[in-house]
Amino acid sequence: MCKAMRRLAISAALALIPALVAAEEKPIKLKQGKGVELVEAQCGACHSVDYIVMNSPFLDAAKWQAEVAKMINAFGAPIAPADARTIADYLKQNYGG
- For 10-21, how does the pLDDT look when each residue is reduced to its tens digit (9 = 90+)? 777 777 777 666
Q: What is the pLDDT of residue 23?
A: 55
How far is residue 82's CA from residue 46's CA, in Å, rounded to a whole number?
19
Q: What is the pLDDT of residue 5?
A: 74
How far is residue 34's CA from residue 83's CA, in Å, rounded to a whole number?
12
Q: What is the pLDDT of residue 28?
A: 83
Domain boundaries, the chain: 28-95
- Domain 28-95 CATH (choose: 1.10.340.30, 3.50.50.60, 1.10.760.10, 3.30.70.20): 1.10.760.10
- For 2-53, how does the pLDDT look when each residue is reduced to its tens digit (9 = 90+)? 777 778 777 777 777 776 665 566 788 999 999 999 999 999 999 999 999 9
How far is residue 68's CA from residue 43's CA, in Å, rounded to a whole number?
9
